[in-house]
Every structure is written in structure tokens, then in C-alpha cells.
Amino acid sequence: MITRLEARGLTCPHGFLGRTGGVSQGIFASLNVGLGSSDAAQAVRENRARALAAVAPGARLVTLHQVHSAIAVEAGDWTDDARPEADGLVTDRPGIALGILTADCAPLLLEDAAAGVIGACHAGWKGALGGVIGATVDAMERLGAQRARISAAVGPCIGRRSYEVDDGFRARFEAVEAENGAFFTDGRPGHAFFDLEGYCLKRLADSGVMRAEGLGADTRKDAERFFSYRRKTLAGEPDYGRQLSLIVLPG
């Protein structure tokens, strides 16, 4: 069965999906939606169809070639083979499901229901620090959204106690803004733990989005529900699955 988390503050049909309910086998079991994985292409296509049907039956799924950028684009009619390189996606067209793939990075879903504008973005540490969240809000505003009306949610991502980084990583954030040190907890010598979810919530607030929530689900810790890039790396596995988060304007 497909597992689906929802945010209390979002009214448009949406879901932060987990790894269950698909047809993939082995390390990709079972709802791997990653076109860039080495999983069987037919299984990935079936999983994407099942994921879409669980949240937005009849809609058209639009995703990106995610590259950890600060680029946000308006959803177009491209095929899966012609996805643009970007990490934020917006639309004002009903029936288009905006999809973000993750496996530890943070998926963000956003809406201005009054304006009929939605957004989604992929925020790993690099994209979050680089400005992908603000770029997505800006792109929504160009379609008629008002940032003061936007509601947002940060979905399942690697949790603070699972995300150990070195001092050089921490220094990157503190060089941008000293207050970013609040998102790090000291660990063993030369290392700290980073709060990606909390940092994404801060970047939403910096962008003028004041109604935002984090779901608090740790992808690395919960192997039964979620894929995790860091967990696969620590286990020495050759590849990993990706889960899907999506949102759609009702038609």
C-alpha cells in the first residue's frame, strides 16, 4: 500500500509519498520513482503512475532534472526525457501535478489557493543555501500569487541527528549569515549535526512565507518508509531509490 503524508496547512490535493506500494525489487523496493536510477525503466514508469493515481488521478505529472540549483521554472508540456535542469517548479494550471524526487533532501510543497498557484521545490543543502526556496516563491508571485498568502510544508528529509557534517560545511553557512549557526549542534570534534528542515523553514520565512510547517519525518532513520541516500552510502549499496512529493490544483 502506498503511504502518504499530508500537511495540515495545505488545501490542494497533495502528498509526501514513501517507498511502499510499488513494483520495484531489491534495493529499490518498492515505489522507486527515480528516472535517473539504475532500476528497471518499466518498473519506474509503473511506480510513477501508481504514485500519481494515489494523489491526483487524471492529472499529468511534471518533474524536473534536479541538479541542486537555485533555478525555478514554470511547468511546461515537456516529456520525461526532456525535463529541464531546475529544482523549483510552479504552475497556475489545474490538472498538472508538480512532482519533486528526494532521498534525504527536503521536498517543499507550496500553494496560494486564493490565486490558484502552486509550487514545489527540491532543497538539498546546496539548493537551500543557494536560494531555490526564494526562487520558487518569486516564480509563484510572477503567476499571481502573493507571498503573504502562501502556505508551505517541508516534507520528509534527513533529520538533524542523522545529518553529521564537518566544520567546513558549517563554515559555508555561517559565512553567509552568522545566525545560521543556530541550525548546527556540536558533535564529535570537527563535526556537527545540521537541521535541514529547520533551515528550509527559515528560508521560507526569509522569503515572506509565514505559514509553513515541517513534518519532522527523518528519511535516514526510517528505512521501512523512506529511501535515503546517506543510508545507502553508509551501507555501501550501489544505488538508491527516490520517493515522490507532489501537489496539484484541482480542476
| Cβ-contact 216, 173 below 8 angstroms | no
| Residue 8, domain member (yes or no) | no
Nearest Cα to 228, choosing from 154, 178, 159, 182? 159
* 106-112/164-166 β-pairing: unpaired
Residue with cell 520565512: 205
**Per-residue pLDDT tens digits for 107-145:** 999 999 999 999 999 999 999 999 999 999 999 999 999
Nearest Cα to 86, choosing from 109, 99, 68? 68
| Cβ-contact 75, 62 below 8 angstroms | yes
Percent with pLDDT over 70 in the chain = 100
CATH of the domain at 96: 3.60.140.10
pLDDT of residue 153: 99
| Residue 221, domain member (yes or no) | yes
| Residue 140, domain member (yes or no) | yes
Q: Listing from the earlier edge strand, what are the strands of the sheet with 60-62?
A: 4-5, 14-17, 243-248, 96-102, 60-62
Query: What band does 251 get if pLDDT is binned at 50, 70 and 90?
Result: confident
| Residue 177, domain member (yes or no) | no
Q: Peptide bond before 30: cis, by omega within 30 degrees of 0?
A: yes
SS3 156: coil
CA 50 to chain centre: 19
| Residue 100, domain member (yes or no) | yes
Number of structural domains in the chain = 1
pLDDT of residue 151: 98
Residue 229 has pLDDT above 90, yes or no: yes
| Residue 2, domain member (yes or no) | no
Query: What band does 27 get if pLDDT is binned at 50, 70 and 90?
Result: very high
| Residue 121, domain member (yes or no) | yes
First to last CA, the chain: 26
**Per-residue pLDDT tens digits for 82-104:** 999 999 999 999 999 999 999 99
DSSP state of 45: H
Largest CA distance in the chain: 54
In which domain, by residue range, is 113 found? 60-159+195-235
Q: Which residues contact 208 (CB under 8 A, 6 or more apart)?
A: 137, 147, 148, 150
Quote the pTM value.
Answer: 0.98
| Residue 98, domain member (yes or no) | yes
Mean pLDDT on 29-57: 98
